[in-house]
Amino acid sequence: MACLFGYCGPPADGLLARMAGLLAHRCPSGWERARGATAAGDTVEIGHGVAAWNRESQLARRDSTLLGYGGVLFETDALLERDDSPIQTVAARLLAGLRSNPTSSLARLTGVFVLAMNQGDAFYLVRDPAGVKVLYWTVHQGRLLFASEIKALFADPTLPRRMRAGALPEYLSFSFIPGANTLFADIEELPPGSILEFRHGQARVRRHFRVEDLETDASRPAEDYPLLVRAALEQSVAECLAVCSGKPPVVFLSGGIDSSAVLAVAGQQLSGTRIPTFSVHFGAEYARENEFVQMMVDRYQTDHHWLEVRPAGFLDQLREIIWRLDDPIGDPVTVPNDLLARAAAQVADVVLNGEGGDPCLGGPKNIPMLLARLYGPLPGEPAAGWLERNYLRAFQRCYQDLNALLDPALLREAGGDDALVGLLEPYFQAPTPRDFVNKLTSINIRLKGANLILVKVEKMTAGHGVLALPPLFSRRIIETSMACPPALRLEGAVEKSVLKKAVRDLVPEAIIARPKSGMMVPVRFWFQGEMRRYGQHLLTRANLQRLGLFDPDYVQRLLDYEMEGVPGLRHGLKLWMLVTFLLWYEQMVEAPLPSSRFAPPREIDPGRR
What is the arithmetic mean of pLDDT over 418-428? Answer: 97
What SS3 class is residue 29? Answer: coil
What is the arithmetic mean of pLDDT over 511-530? Answer: 88
- Higher pLDDT residue, 50 or 461? 461
Q: Is the CB of residue 508 less than 8 Å from the CB of residue 295?
A: yes
Omega before 508 within 30 of 0, i.e. cis: no
Q: Is the CB of residue 441 less than 8 Å from the CB of residue 487?
A: no
Q: Is the CB of residue 539 less than 8 Å from the CB of residue 579?
A: yes
317 exposure class (CB count in 10 Å sphere: 0-12, 13-18, 19+):
middle
> What size, in residues, is the chain?
609
CA-nearest of 264, 321, 265 to 461 is 321
Residue 518: pLDDT band (50, 70, 90) is low
Q: What is the pLDDT of residue 287?
A: 79
CA dihedral of residues 195, 199, 202, 206 (deg, nearest 10): -20
Q: What is the pLDDT of residue 601?
A: 46
Residue 518 main-chain phi, psi, to 5 deg: 80, 165
For residue 604, pLDDT beyond 50:
no
**Which stretch of 49-63, 80-94, 235-249, 447-461 has the lowest confidence by average pLDDT?**
80-94
Q: What is the number of other CB atoms lying within 10 angstroms of the CB of residue 184?
A: 23
> How does pLDDT run across 541-562, given as a tens digit for each residue?
999 999 999 999 999 999 999 9
Q: Is the CB of residue 359 less than 8 Å from the CB of residue 449?
A: yes
- Higher pLDDT residue, 594 or 251? 251
Who contacts 338 (Cβ-Cβ below 8 Å, separation ≥6)? 314, 317, 321, 324, 460, 463, 464
**Which stretch of 43-47, 77-81, 206-210, 241-245 has the lowest confidence by average pLDDT?**
77-81
- Higher pLDDT residue, 81 or 493? 493
**Which stretch of 362-366, 505-509, 544-548 has the lowest confidence by average pLDDT?**
362-366
> How does pLDDT run across 25-80, given as a tens digit for each residue?
888 778 899 999 999 999 999 999 887 777 688 999 988 899 999 999 997 766 66
- Tell me the pLDDT of the chain averaged across its residues: 92
CA-nearest of 485, 499, 268 to 363 is 499
What SS3 class is residue 50? Answer: coil
> How does pLDDT run across 563-600, given as a tens digit for each residue?
998 998 899 999 999 999 999 999 999 999 876 454 45
Q: What is the pLDDT of residue 600?
A: 53
Residue 105 main-chain phi, psi, to 5 deg: -70, -40
What is the arithmetic mean of pLDDT over 427-447? Answer: 95
Q: What fold, for 213-362+435-513?
A: Rossmann fold (3.40.50)
Q: What fold, for 4-209?
A: Glutamine Phosphoribosylpyrophosphate, subunit 1, domain 1 (3.60.20)
Q: What is the pLDDT of residue 594?
A: 75
For residue 607, pLDDT beyond 50:
no
Structural domain boundaries of the chain? 4-209, 213-362+435-513
Distance of CA 603 to the CA centre of its chain: 28
What is the arithmetic mean of pLDDT over 260-272? Answer: 97
> How does pLDDT run across 367-412, given as a tens digit for each residue?
889 999 999 998 888 889 999 999 999 999 999 999 999 999 999 9
pLDDT > 70: percent of the chain: 94
Q: What is the pLDDT of residue 514?
A: 86
Q: Is the CB of residue 406 less than 8 Å from the CB of residue 177?
A: no
Q: What is the pLDDT of residue 80?
A: 62
Q: pTM, whole model, 2 decimals? A: 0.95
Q: What is the pLDDT of residue 274?
A: 97
Residue 114 main-chain phi, psi, to 5 deg: -130, 150
Residue 603: pLDDT band (50, 70, 90) is low
End-to-end Cα distance, the chain: 18
Distance of alpha carbon 368 from alpha carbon 334, whole angstroms: 25
> How does pLDDT run across 287-344, given as a tens digit for each residue?
788 899 999 999 999 999 999 999 999 999 999 999 999 999 999 999 999 999 999 9
Q: Is the CB of residue 207 less than 8 Å from the CB of residue 131?
A: no
Q: What is the pLDDT of residue 78?
A: 60
Q: What is the DSSP letter of 160?
A: -
For residue 609, pLDDT beyond 50:
no
